[in-house]
Amino acid sequence: MPTDLAIDGVDQLDFFLGKQENSNREGFPAYVADRLQAVKWHNWKMHLIWQVNMYDPPVTLPLPRVVNLLTDLKEERDAGVKAGFVTVPMTKLLGEWEASLKKYPPIKMGTFDPYIPPKE
H helices present in the chain, as ranges: 13-16, 87-103
Cβ atoms 23, 12 nearer than 8 A: yes
**Claim: this prediction has a pTM higher than 0.95:** no
pLDDT exceeds 80 at position 26: yes
- pLDDT the model gives residue 5: 46
**What number of H helices and E strands is found in the chain?**
2, 4
Q: What are phi and psi of 50, to 5 degrees?
A: -115, 135
Count Cβ atoms below 10 Å from residue 66 Cβ, excluding itself: 24
In 3D space, the residue among 40, 94, 90, 95 whose CA is nearest the CA of residue 69 turns out to be 40
pLDDT, tens digit, 9 for 90 and up, residues 95-108 = 988 888 888 888 88
Cβ atoms 27, 42 nearer than 8 A: yes
pLDDT, tens digit, 9 for 90 and up, residues 74-93 = 999 999 778 778 888 999 99
